[in-house]
Structure 1
Amino acid sequence: MKLEAKLEGSSVISHSQGLVGRLETLLLQGNSSDVSLRVETVDGDEAKQFQAHALVLSLQSPVFGFMLQNRNSSILLLHESQDCVAVFDKFIRYLYCGELSLHMDQAIALHKLATKYGVSDLQQGLTEYMSLNLAGASGSGHVVDWYEYAAAAGDEGLKATCLQFLSWNLSSVLRSAHWPSVSAELLMALLRRSDLVLQSELELFEGLEAWLVQNDPESLTVENALRAVRYAMIPPRELFRLQRRSHMLARYQESVRDLLFLSFQFHSASPLQLAKFFDVNCSLFVPRNYLTASWGTPWVINSPARDDRSTTFQTQLGPSGHDEGKRVTWNALFSPRWLPLNLRPMYNEQGAMHQSQSVQPSVSAARPRIIITPTTSSAEFAGVHFQKTVIVSTRQQSQLVVHHVYNFHQSTEEAGDFLAHVDLQQRTSEYLTDGSLHLHIIIKPLYQTLIAIKK
């Protein structure tokens, strides 16, 4: 018995757990059953039978309600796929008890049943379950399966969530045994994105070539996929090597010849010169989130709730081979309780706080901040602006997975939403690994078209 105090003079007596237990007993023993559900595969190889109650089924499922109203027998025959038959006992128990336990490999089948029979609460709960368990499911390939299922079922929210996770953890996806099973539709959706997190564009090309060899798709798919690679982000020496040893490039050379030629021009000419004739803001010249040292640095902050931390690192001025020898030095400052200048208390010459600010709760605005600034003179950045990206990773099943990605522009020193609403005092925070904050800072140089392109 559970007794809860409510308004003064009133209480609530709750025996809901006991009611759930009696409903489960009702299902298991079939007492007072008025309908028999026979669930079998289309070919009839596997079947299960449940003694059920029309009232309960109709209350939980409008689809069952309609079917039961129009039945002409005490037996209701249901045809389901084999995976759905295997979990139907869990599904029917949910209708009686409002809860179920599941493994990751059962999520799709249960979602199918919830969708088919209009059990919206369960459908939404399973979508949320899959969205919250992407990291744990990544090693077994379930994220790819969940994406493909969401795409087929028209669940745009789950589809977008899975695609975002795969994009942020593409290096591990490319190395997994499940990469060859990715559909052509998912492959192209990934290739078109600029927020992919991976070691380099070369790693992406090698993963793409492995997929193409394994799946042997039609020529149009191959051409579209090869043209989605950003060859200009691959150093010239690697491009020459690819042309010599890649059978796929040799076979489809005519399809990507213009991209390779433009990429070599990009690496050999001054970006300012190139910008006079080409649109350097097109996707070919836009870097993704590369993890190699030329683009940024990893940064592990131990005990991030205590003191300010800082680090210094260098990146290449731009992705063009013309800028290969030029470096930009960056300072990064992390503070667990940073207070913006406009909210810091101001003092007069006698050291007293201004009265107008003494009553402001400015300290409550303090929260984790990261500030990244160049030490190099901005005069050396002519034609280049920088997008700064901070990746936060957490450990799941012995490997780091990307938990969140923050982006901010050259014109701002800090990411305004960085770790917003995160309590770093909690060592069990989902953003921490063994009490430490695992960051990776990426500087993405983008060339600007300064002069109108000649037609």
Structure 2
Amino acid sequence: MACNSTAISPVDCKNSLIEGLSSLFDDETTSDITLVVGSSRYHLHKNILAASSQYFHRMFYGGQWKESTKNEIVLHETPDCEGVFDTFIRYFYTGEVNLCPETAPHLLLLADKYDCKVKRNCLKFMTDVIIKGNLEKALLWIPICDKLGAAEVLERCYVIVCYNLKMASEMPHWSSLSAQHVSTILQRAGIIVDNEYEVYLAVQGWILSQKQSNTDNSNDLLALVQFKNMTASHLVQIEKSTLATDQSQSSLKQHLNDAFRHLAIKAESSLKTKEAASRFYTATGNLQTVTLQGYSVSGAIKPQCRGDFSNTYKWMLSFVQNKNGTLCLRITVPDVSREIEEYRHRGKKLSFMSETYYLHDDIPGKVSVSVNAILQNDQGIIYDIGTKSVNTSMPTANGGTVVEFPLATCYKPAKCFVSFKIEN
């Protein structure tokens, strides 16, 4: 009998369905396939496995695998993946998987190998872990994410390592990175260190930790250290280091000679060294900072605008809860559109936060500023909380444009670093 469409009342039976499937897990009575993984045996069902895994679907029903006719299949996994295989295979029957930072990468490897949707859950979980500032896991996961092409998690890992290079280079997993991974880190923009000497120490630590010396790798990595940005005292320390006394490290000696020559020329001619775009040296104050006490602000960022544009503007920071109750960092970007308009008509150059812009009549007076905010938590780890563009010609009652960044609630922020760049 057909239902009267106006009287249909859908009933949610998902829970009872999951209960029924769960009861079939490792049920030898109804099983039609046994998977052997290490010392464990799992009595399972081909159709259930195939429903959630393209790998198993091709194996059992593709018609080309010899395993399709077998009742028992041995799967070869690494010891780490064997350790989480029970959790992984239960997902097919329960629709749930328990994730933690220790097991997530191994579950990700299994999900990728067997081509099942739980891979998305693993990637999201790992991204959240890195966003919250887990530097140790970022180092550990870089090789895994690179191998699997997990671009979003890999990017997050690289970012947090660049922000915390000194701390990262002192962790055990730093030496486990490949030369290519270390090279990628050193070539990225946004490395935060006190000075360039810390970058050298990170490279030296990696080179000395490698069991098999590779001169080509050492030379390539040393070439990415910006020795010309170091002080004479740091260069002298490097001259006396273990690496410098190694006869095979001739390229290091050349880098030091070039850096000393650069310092001599700079002293004689008052040469100003252009700071590398890929570095933020906190010891020299080129990264604007504000110290936060608890959830209140103890100061305000006042970036100095140099050159023709010499006024100082106040960038107000505060912690607030938005309408959803989420803790946010609120930044009030000052309205500089009036001054921009004045210099636009004169066709003069404008220096703003170490960037130089040439303003002409064809450039609109409205100014968009890219705001990048990162936090240092109370454990000393710096992590990114986002980048947003704001139009500074739309001031609020506070005299500026407000932008808010939601914060990870598991960490209490201790310090905030904010960088700004005019987009127009």
**1:36-435 equivalences in 2 (<5 Å):** 36-40=34-38, 47-69=39-61, 70=66, 71-119=68-116, 121-134=117-130, 138=134, 141-215=136-210, 217-243=213-239, 245-251=240-246, 254-256=250-252, 259-269=255-265, 285-286=276-277, 288-296=279-287, 298-301=289-292, 310-311=300-301, 332-334=314-316, 368-371=331-334, 386-387=354-355, 391-393=373-375, 395=377, 398-404=379-385, 420=403, 422=405, 429-430=407-408, 434=412
Distance 1:165 1:172 in 2: 11
Q: Are the aligned partners of 2:80 and 2:106 in contact in 1 as well (CA < 8 Å)?
A: yes
Deviation at 1:312, TM superposition (A): 5.0
| Secondary structure, aligned partner of 2:102 | helix
**Structure 1 match to 2:363:** none
Question: Aligned letter for 2:42?
Answer: F
Task: Work out the percentage of aligned pairs sharing the same amino acid.
Answer: 18
Change (3 A) 1:203 1:9: farther
| Secondary structure, aligned partner of 1:151 | helix
Q: Which runs of 5+ in 1 are unaligned?
A: 1-6, 41-46, 318-327, 338-366, 424-428, 445-455
Q: Are the aligned partners of 1:296 and 1:443 in contact in 2 as well (CA < 8 Å)?
A: no
Deviation at 1:247, TM superposition (A): 3.2
Change (3 A) 1:233 1:22: same
Deviation at 1:441, TM superposition (A): 4.7
Deviation at 1:162, TM superposition (A): 1.7
92-101 vs 24-33, greater mean Cα deviation: 24-33
Matched residue pairs, number? 364
Q: Which runs of 5+ in 2 are unaligned?
A: 320-329, 337-342, 344-348, 356-369, 395-400
| Secondary structure, aligned partner of 1:80 | coil
TM-score under structure 1 normalisation? 0.66
Change (3 A) 1:313 1:112: closer
Distance 2:252 2:350 in 1: 31
Distance 2:256 2:420 in 1: 25
**Structure 1 match to 2:417:** 440
| 1:224-283 superposed Cα distances (whole Å, 9 cap, x missing partner) | 11111011221233223322x123234466424554455445445569x799xx9x77xx
Change (3 A) 1:209 1:332: farther
**Structure 2 match to 1:363:** none
Question: Aligned letter for 2:415?
Answer: H
Deviation at 1:27, TM superposition (A): 0.7
| 1:327-380 superposed Cα distances (whole Å, 9 cap, x missing partner) | x9965421569xxxxxxxxxxxxxxxxxxxxxxxxxxxxx7334599xxxx9xx
| 1:396-451 superposed Cα distances (whole Å, 9 cap, x missing partner) | 7x44332336599xxx999xxx985536xxxxx427954x673125699xxxxxxx
Change (3 A) 1:86 1:300: same
Distance 1:407 1:96 in 2: 42
Deviation at 1:222, TM superposition (A): 1.0
Change (3 A) 1:310 1:420: closer
Q: Are the aligned partners of 2:291 and 2:299 in contact in 1 as well (CA < 8 Å)?
A: no
